Amino acid sequence: MNITRQRNDTREHLLVTGEQLCLQRGFTGMGLSELLTLAEVPKGSFYYHFRSKEVFGVVLLERYFARYLQDVEYQLQQETGSARERLLNHFRRAERLFREEGHIVGCLGVKLSAEVCDLSEPMREALQLGASKIIAVYAQTLQTAQQHEAVNLPQQPAQMAELLYLLWLGASLQSKISREVQPMHLALITIEQWLNAH
């Protein structure tokens, strides 16, 4: 194995381990020494890849949102079903997953959104950029639904996309707090009403 490949593997291993710790304990609860012990990586290797814990956090969020965006695009840009149905199924799938697991699964955005915004400006910016990309995909899907289907949106696609994201993020946070599916279920009912075909 060449040195570059080995370094890339170490970097990815740190990010995978760090994401799991953040999902369990939050960013501030993730101790650097715990991360290094769990990943079995020396401190020098960590600082070779990341100048600080904050930089690590930014990269962690960028990596998460890149992966999540790819998943959302896959769900919303398929050729099967209408654009409206694909968008509704995207939210239904998340609600169903919560029902099955009893908690928010693997969502670093929900886990860290309230925690890091006042602690780190670069991490806040990474969260905002990630959210804006998801909102843009929602807007594109809503525009397609408006143009090709009998969907009468209460707002323009760009504003509607932001409303969807805000509603779902708030509902996800409340479901996480209450450990009940009801907030997500109410949000889903609202989204279904907003996207009701006429």
Indicate the DSSP class of residue 61: H
Q: CATH number of the domain at 45, please.
A: 1.10.10
The parent domain of residue 88 ranges over 57-194
Query: What CA–CA distance (Å, rounded) separates 36 from 176?
Result: 28
User: What is the domain count for the chain?
Assistant: 2
pTM of the complete model: 0.88
Residue type, 120: S
Query: What CA–CA distance (Å, rounded) separates 41 from 164?
Result: 41
Tell me the average pLDDT across 81-107.
89
Query: What CA–CA distance (Å, rounded) separates 147 from 84?
Result: 11
Same domain membership, residue 187 and residue 143: yes
Chain mean pLDDT for the chain: 90
Same domain membership, residue 118 and residue 101: yes
Tell me the average pLDDT across 11-37.
93
